Amino acid sequence: MNELLISPTVSLYIGAFVQWGFLMAFLYSLAHSINKPNKERVYLSLVMSVSYSFSIFTNMDTVTYLDFLFSDILTLLVIISLRRLWHDGITYLYIITGLAMNSALHFLMHYDIYISNNTSYWWLWNAYAIGVNAADFMMVAIFFINKDFLYLMKFRNGLITSLKRTVDG
């Protein structure tokens, strides 16, 4: 993929750091959950670690944004299908949000470059480069921080409360 905004070498290092982060998150969650009934963070970090580890086999010269999109959507589907293993906790919300954000950005870049045939650099490309990496780091960080540092849970609960009031009259 020659049109990647970040060189394949830098992408490889960022990807390795994120993979390492998810592996450490899994090991941390595993050690932290010993003798505790709630294994949500262990399962989520395992799924994310396995998902991101597949990028080891990705050739950064031939991969497309569509490949990244399919990978993120597959991971989202696995997490949603395994939802019975965990509660709707902060970690689940942050992982779903991060994967959805990454999927949207991958789709927009695919549409912009391959469907619209745009080759001119514009603000979406910066948003992609910053957004995807920020979402990846956010997803790794939530396993260690385990706090609603972006207030996503507060926003979700407020939105649900508002919708319930609207529906109930």
Name the residue range of residue 42's domain.
Answer: 8-168
Euclidean distance between CA atoms 142 and 148, whole angstroms: 8
pLDDT surpassing 70 at residue 137: yes
Euclidean distance between CA atoms 28 and 23, whole angstroms: 9
Q: Is 1 inside any structural domain?
A: no
Q: Is 111 inside any structural domain?
A: yes
| The pLDDT value given to residue 4 | 55
Residue closest to 102 by CA, chosen among 55, 161, 41: 55
- As for how many domains the chain has, the answer is 1
pLDDT surpassing 80 at residue 56: no
Q: Can you read off the two tokens belonging to residue 143?
A: 């396993």
User: What pLDDT digit, counting tens, does each position of 70-119 carry?
Assistant: 999 999 999 999 887 777 789 999 999 999 999 999 999 999 999 999 98
Q: Can you read off the two tokens belonging to residue 25?
A: 């998150």
Q: Is 128 inside any structural domain?
A: yes
Q: Is 69 inside any structural domain?
A: yes
| The pLDDT value given to residue 61 | 75
8-state DSSP, 111: I
- Compute the average pLDDT of residues 30-37: 91
Q: Is 3 inside any structural domain?
A: no
Exposed e or buried b per residue across 130-169, where buried means at least 16 C-beta atoms within 10 angstroms of its C-beta: ebbbebbebbbbbbeeeebeeebbeeeeeeeeeeeeeeee
Instruction: Estimate to the nearest angstrom the gap between the alpha carbon of 70 and the chain centroid.
Output: 13
Please tell me the pTM assigned to this model.
0.89
- Compute the average pLDDT of residues 27-45: 92
